[in-house]
Amino acid sequence: MKAVFVNTPGGVDQLQYADLPKPTPAKGQALVKIAVSGVNFIDVYFRTGLYKADAPIGLGMEAAGVVEAVGEGVTEVKPGDRVAYAMARGSYAEYAVVPSWQLVPIPEGLDFESAAATMLQGMTAHYLTHSTWPLKAAETCLVHAAAGGVGLLLVQIAKMLGAKVIATVGSDEKAELAKAHGADLTVVYTREDFQQAAREFTGGKGVDVVYDSVGASTFMKSLDSLRPRGLMVTFGNASGPVPEIAPLVLNQKGSLFLTRPTLAHYAATRDELLWRSGDLFRWLGEGKLKLRIEHKYPLASAAKAHTDLESRKTTGKLLLLVD
Ligand code: NDP
């Protein structure tokens, strides 16, 4: 089968599009014939070596497709089922074996592209707003990279919960997009001071929570945008990993809380997975949540997708069309 992987972590030139043996499902696994694979920033981290894995490092953590075979003891799915999943690596391929408990059924009427586009970034936006900091109406959150894949979903879900959203973005076009998805205030943080904007917006108080996926370049100012006892959620490294800080800094800046979550720990059981994906699929069906699939590439062009994502050219979701 064709697959995209790296043997030596590095730049996009390290990405290989080549044949690998078609995998066989072991006990508790299903073999999925992949139709569409989602592209996520985490794929960049595995490609560059920021996140470690043994070579050959299969890329891709999200897909939609059809179950072709199941291993021993699998009860959740059967051959022929249309399924989607996230957080199992190796989806940039024609086939992948996935722990069967991680596969969710795709509702009738939802196509593979929409299902693949929903899982990883959607469940991330869901856990951040429902579990890491359950957002309440009238609270204010600061969302960085708000026109990105996670960002546009996070803005919409925060608005559904009644919160006010300050959205930072890298360009005027992205600001328009974030506004169109519900942001109350947009800040082009490449030229405007988001900390000052957040203070002004909240009458000097500071925001209740910051959802910061940008990392190194925004971290300290994000802390400075919070109200006393607010929560700093650092959940990504798009500009590089956040350097170490002393706990005393959290005291000095207002008895702040700090967390560094990952979806893997917030979609840790089948119940949790079905809850989050079920909410997302329902909101899509009801028209409450809109997906923005702007960029589609053939599997063989995964390198182009990575280049575009890393150069901040993209908005919304990027997909690799496999089938
Ligand atoms: P995005 O579509 O959001 O793309 C990344 C965006 O980050 C860019 O479009 C850009 O937006 C912004 N950015 C700021 N600085 C840089 C930089 N130096 N280089 C590149 N981009 C930069 O990607 P995803 O939606 O896939 O992921 C968003 C973030 O969320 C990533 O950091 C990812 O790791 C994280 N994530 C974390 C999860 C978790 O559970 N912890 C799960 C899923 C995603 P702009 O131009 O507007 O600044």
The percentage of the chain sitting over the pLDDT mark of 70, rounded to a whole number, equals 100
Instruction: Tell me, using a 6 A CB cutoff, whether residue 263 lines ligand 1.
Output: yes
> Ligand 1, atom 31: nearest CA belongs to which residue?
236
Query: 313 CA to middle of ligand 1, Å?
Result: 11
Mean pLDDT value of segment 293-309: 97
Placement of tokens 């917030």 in the chain = 266
How many Cβ atoms sit within 10 Å of the Cβ of residue 313? 11
Q: How many CA atoms lie within 13 A of 193 on its CB side?
A: 7
Query: 79 CA to middle of ligand 1, Å?
Result: 35
| pLDDT tens string 191-220 | 999 999 999 999 999 999 999 999 999 999
| pLDDT tens string 63-112 | 999 999 999 999 999 999 999 999 999 999 999 999 999 999 999 999 99
Query: 217 CA to middle of ligand 1, Å?
Result: 12
Domain residue limits, the chain: 2-120+264-321, 137-260
* Residue 96 near residue 112 (C-beta atoms within 8 A): no
* Residue 60 near residue 91 (C-beta atoms within 8 A): yes
* Residue 265 near residue 293 (C-beta atoms within 8 A): no
- Give 86-148 as a DSSP string: ES-S--SBSEEEEEGGG-EEPPTT--HHHHHHHHHHHHHHHHIIIIIS---TT-EEEESSTTS
> Ligand 1, atom 34: nearest CA belongs to which residue?
236
Instruction: Tell me, using a 6 A CB cutoff, whether residue 143 lines ligand 1.
Output: no
Question: What is the per-residue pLDDT for 13?
Answer: 97
| Own/partner pairs, 266-273, CB within 8 angstroms, 24+ separation | 266/123, 266/127, 266/131, 266/132, 267/86, 267/87, 267/123, 267/127, 270/76, 270/101, 273/101, 273/102, 273/104, 273/123
**Residue-averaged pLDDT of the chain:** 97
Query: 306 CA to middle of ligand 1, Å?
Result: 12
Amino acid (one-letter) located at 241: P
Instruction: Tell me, using a 6 A CB cutoff, whether residue 262 lines ligand 1.
Output: yes
Q: Which atom of ligand 1 is nearest to the CA of 189?
A: 48
User: Is the model's pLDDT at 180 over the cut of 90?
Assistant: yes
User: Is the model's pLDDT at 294 over the cut of 90?
Assistant: no
Asked if the 2-120+264-321 domain carries CATH number 3.90.180.10, the reply is yes
264-280 per-residue burial string, b: 16 or more CB within 10 A, e: under 16 = eebbeeeebbebbbebb
Instruction: Tell me, using a 6 A CB cutoff, whether residue 152 lines ligand 1.
Output: no
Question: What is the per-residue pLDDT for 150?
Answer: 98
Q: Using CA atoms, how far apart are residues 227 and 222, in angstroms rounded to an integer?
A: 11
* Residue 256 near residue 229 (C-beta atoms within 8 A): yes
Question: What is the per-residue pLDDT for 323?
Answer: 80
> Ligand 1, atom 3: nearest CA belongs to which residue?
148
Is the pTM higher than 0.95? The answer reads yes
CATH of 137-260, one of 3.40.50.720, 3.40.220.10, 3.40.50.980, 3.40.50.1370: 3.40.50.720
